[in-house]
Amino acid sequence: MAILQLHSLRIENNSRKFTCVAATRASSSSSSSGCLHQSVSTPKSNDFSRLVSKLKSNSLSFALSGTLALSVALSGVGFAEAKVGVNKPELLPKEFTTVIDVAGFLSDGQEKRLAKEIDSIEKDTGFKLRVLAQNYPDTPGLAIKDFWQVDDRTIVFVADPTFGNILNFNVGETVDLDIPRSFWSRLAGKYGNMFYWKEKGEDASVEAAVMAISNCLREPVGANNCAEVK
């Protein structure tokens, strides 16, 4: 039986930290993820610092483009080089929007409803939810960082069924402080699993996830906030 696992990535880019959280479906033989998992030891060498900085930048590219990534461990003496993420700004809409659907999962009405809910979330909580629906490699990828001005209060929700579980999240530092990481894995397990979106549709997974995130962000911060995926 497939098991949902949580992979977390904390990276620093342009003086801001992000945590990448994705649910993966794993068996005894293989696993796949929309994020790059790495542990980094603090190097003393300036040259190695630049190398780690470059690798972290590539890691963020992978996370934001929802690609399949490699597991990388940095011990201070060796490294595995990750492939560069997709960057296709030509796939971005001409006007600003909080919902980008290059995969065609959503109807115009669904996009408008989601955008309205996202606007309400931002006004009520100060957190910025952004939704990208894609089928890798047809994605704007890294280009969404500047388009959405991703910062430490931003949640980038990438809906991509390519690797099984359709729900992938990149969570800013401030969001990570308020929302338990277990929430994202439970959310992906409930609405992102292949059985759910194949039966109900990719659009149903996206809409359900946005509403669950909205409910979570509106809960008072405490020991038991977001304990239930609603």
Torsion over CA: 173, 178, 180, 183 (sign): negative
Pairing of strands 72-73, 38-39: parallel
pLDDT digits (tens, 9 = 90+) for 55-72: 444 434 444 444 333 222
Categorize the per-residue pLDDT at 21 as very low, low, confident or very high, splitting at 50, 70 and 90. low
* DSSP states of 3-46: EEEEEEEEEEETTEEEEEEEEEEE-SS-B--SS--EE------H
pLDDT at 85: 72
The angle formed by the CA atoms of residues 202, 208 and 214, to the nearest 5 degrees, is 135
| 192 vs 47 pLDDT, higher one | 192
Asked whether the predicted pLDDT for residue 88 surpasses 50, the reply is yes
| 39 vs 168 pLDDT, higher one | 168
pLDDT at 163: 87
Tokens coding 17: 């930290």
| 32 vs 128 pLDDT, higher one | 128
Asked whether the predicted pLDDT for residue 167 surpasses 70, the reply is yes
